[in-house]
Structure 1
Amino acid sequence: MSIDALVTGKLWKTPEERRSNAGKTFVIANVRAADGEGESLFVNVVAFSDSAKAALLALDDGDSVSLAGTLKIGTYEARDGSVKPSVSMVASKVLTAYHVARKRKSVAECGADERPTRAPSMSDDALDF
């Protein structure tokens, strides 16, 4: 079962670009997110779209990030024998603090009474939700 989801957290290690056997590139990352009970949960992330790959590769270990995409939830057995949740995501969109600041600036420049009719255009390395 897959779920459309938004995950927010901090990168655990710097994202890495990899190449498949077919020669296509993808980016993997791990995000440490808090669950509803305040516990940390690791989300294994993979990105295939050029814009999501570029946005992830621009980030470093510890950077805050929000990801939209397809989430899969499963379980695995930990070394101590306990059952833990396993969460993975295929990220289609990436949003960082940089993108939020850029959007706020754009809205502020339009004035208090106006909102932009559409989001400002962004380059491939800066993704908009």
Structure 2
Amino acid sequence: MIDGLIAGRLYGEAQIRTGQNGKRYVTCKVRATAGDGETLFVNVIAFDDDLQTALLALSDADSVTLTGALTPKVWTDKNGLVKPALDMVAHGLLTAYHVRRKQQTVSGESASQDLRAQDHLQDPL
């Protein structure tokens, strides 16, 4: 198994599906750019409820970063050219929203730590 991190843009909308066992899962496609500039499609499946909710909240072309188990694949386009692809069982997700929220949390914690330190210095013993 290859555990990987991919970053790209959602291609279309995430879809809710139900397995034969009755459990819900979400699938989507992400367009990522490989090191050589070629576009690579990543077929993503998510079983975790929180991850499913996050994927369903995204729209077509939203930026996303996913972590999970990767399986390399190939597919043939309508011109007969063989193209690389990846299948991913996702277990983590990060979007621009998450980054901003984490930055605000860190900034808020830093500010309150500074205030506590100042209060400590001003308290007479």
TM-score by length of 1: 0.81
Q: Which has the higher helix share?
A: 2
Question: 1:72 matched to which residue of 2?
Answer: 71
Question: 1:84 matched to which residue of 2?
Answer: 83
Question: 1:9 matched to which residue of 2?
Answer: 8
| Structure 1 residue 97 corresponds to structure 2 residue 96 | yes
| Structure 1 residue 109 corresponds to structure 2 residue 95 | no
SS of the counterpart of 1:104?
A: helix
Report deviation, 1:12: 0.4
How much is the aligned-residue C-alpha RMSD, in angstroms?
1.4
Deviations 1:61-100 (A, max 9, x none): 1111000000100223333232211211000011111100
| Structure 1 residue 63 corresponds to structure 2 residue 62 | yes
SS of the counterpart of 2:30?
A: strand
CA–CA distance in 1 between the matches of 2:75 and 2:82?
6
CA–CA distance in 2 between the matches of 1:66 and 1:94?
6
CA–CA distance in 2 between the matches of 1:93 and 1:45?
11
Read off the aligned partner of 1:81 and give its amino acid letter.
G
Aligned residues: 112
Of structures 1 and 2, the larger Rg is shown by: 2
Question: 1:18 matched to which residue of 2?
Answer: 17
Structure 2: which 5+ residue stretches go unaligned? 114-125
TM-score by length of 2: 0.84
* More moved, 80-89 vs 23-32: 80-89
Overall identity of the aligned pairs, in %: 46
Read off the aligned partner of 1:103 and give its amino acid letter.
K
